[in-house]
Structure 1
C-alpha cells in the first residue's frame, strides 16, 4: 500500500525519535488526522506546512466528535507529538488544546451520566493555593528548627 507523503514523513520522524512500537501506535492516529486534512481540502507537502489554525480546528473537531474525552486527548497528543518530532514549533504546539474538557456527572433525574463542560471553581483554586502556602510555611519552619537543632 502506498503511503501519503505526510505519513512517510511522520513515520520517519517517529522512527528517528521513538521506538518501533510507538510508531505502530501513533501512525493510525496520524492517519485519522490526514483524513481530517483531506476532508477540509488541504494537502500540505510537509508537516511543517500544516497551518496552526488547522491543528486548532482538529482539536475542536475531536471535541465535538462522539467519542470519549480520553480518546480525543490521545488522538490530539499523537498528532502533536508527530509534529514536534518533525520540527514544528513547541511554542505553537503548547497552545493547541481541546476547547472543552468534559467529565461525566450524574444526572439525578435518570440515574445516568452525561458530559458537562468542566471549569474549576474559583473557591477550589483558592483552597488549593491556601494549602500550598500552608505546606510551604510548614516546610520553612521545619528547616529552621532542623538548623537550630544542629547547632
Structure 2
C-alpha cells in the first residue's frame, strides 16, 4: 500500500520526537484524521498546511461520532500531538477542543465536572434518594421540629 506524503511526514516527525511504540500507537489515529480530511475535500501538501478550521471541524466530528468520550479525546489528542511535533503553531493547537457542554456533577463538595454524555450512575441516584428519605424521616421524628409545628 502506498503511503501518502502526509503520512510520510508524520512518520518522520514521530521518529524524531517519539519512540517506535508511540509512533505505532499514534499513526492509526492520524490515518483516521487523514481519511477525514480526504472525505471533506481537503488535501494539504504538508502538516503545516492543514487549515485550522479543518482541525476544529474534526474535533466537532469526533464530538458527534458514536463513540465514548475518552476515545474521542484520545483521537483528537493524537492528531494535535502529531501536529505539534511537526511544528504547527502551539497557540492554535491549544484552542482546539471537543465542544462538549460541561455541567457540574450533582452532590459533590468539590468543583468536579462531568461531560454531558455521561449518565448518572444508578447507585448515585439510589444513594441520593436514600439520603433524602433518611433526612425527611429524621426531621419528621425530631421532637424540636414536632413541637414547633404544633404551636
TM-score, structure 1 length as denominator? 0.69
The residue number in structure 2 matching 1:67 is: 67
RMSD: 1.5
Paired residues, number: 109
What's the CA shift for 1:107?
Answer: 8.1
Displaced runs of 4 or more, over 2 A? none
The residue number in structure 2 matching 1:130 is: none
1:98-117 paired onto structure 2 within 5 Å: 98-100=98-100, 101-106=115-120
> CA offsets, 1:34-93, max 9 Å, x none?
000000011000000000010000000000000000000000000000000000000000
- In terms of Rg, which structure is larger? 2
Unaligned 5+ runs, structure 2: 101-114, 126-151
1:65-144 paired onto structure 2 within 5 Å: 65-100=65-100, 101-106=115-120
Separation of aligned partners in 1, 2:116 and 2:79: 20
Separation of aligned partners in 2, 1:45 and 1:33: 15
TM-score, structure 2 length as denominator? 0.69
Unaligned 5+ runs, structure 1: 112-151
